[in-house]
């Protein structure tokens, strides 16, 4: 029973994903252009270790000056924009899949970070952010006294 319910959930998720893709294709067909960045762009990978959290974002074509990163409390915010390619007179797109426009991603952190030690590097279109865990937030070993 559990597996059949799980299978139905997966089918529903695929259905919604397919409906979203179909809506995007219809918008592109009738407007002649793609939609700007959505809430799922740019693509993000996040993982944690004992002492830090790493966030990577795919952002090819985004200029470094157009990226803004901030950490407030337990929230990481990345904002930016990518301009669309300018076509010459008489040119038109055959296919256009790369998103453009402004984007805004918010990541809720599982622990407090030391904002002064956050490091960000942008290389080959990938933004890599290292968020070190605050010393105050790290687990402390408690010694046990005997009588």
pTM of the model: 0.66
Which pLDDT band, with edges at 50, 70 and 90, does 1 fall under? low
Report residue 5 as tokens. 């319910």
How many percent of the chain have pLDDT more than 90? 29
The residue behind tokens 């990938």 is 126
Q: Kindly give, in sequence order, each residue whose CB lies less than 8 Å from that of residue 90, ignoring residues fewer than 6 positions away.
A: none
pLDDT in tens, 82-109: 888 888 898 888 787 777 888 888 898 8
């Amino acid at each position: 029973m559990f597996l059949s319910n799980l299978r139905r959930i997966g089918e529903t998720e695929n259905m919604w994903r397919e409906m979203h893709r179909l809506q995007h294709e219809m918008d592109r067909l009738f407007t002649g252009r793609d939609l700007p960045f959505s809430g799922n762009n740019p693509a993000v990978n996040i993982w944690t270790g004992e002492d830090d959290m790493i966030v990577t974002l795919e952002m090819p074509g985004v200029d470094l000056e157009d990226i803004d990163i901030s950490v407030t409390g337990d929230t990481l915010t990345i904002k930016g924009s990518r301009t669309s390619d300018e076509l010459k007179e008489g040119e038109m797109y055959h296919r256009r899949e790369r998103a453009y426009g402004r984007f805004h991603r918010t990541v809720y952190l599982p622990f407090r970070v030391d904002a002064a030690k956050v490091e960000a590097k942008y290389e080959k279109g990938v933004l890599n952010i290292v968020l070190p865990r605050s010393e105050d937030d790290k687990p402390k070993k408690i010694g046990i006294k005997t009588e």
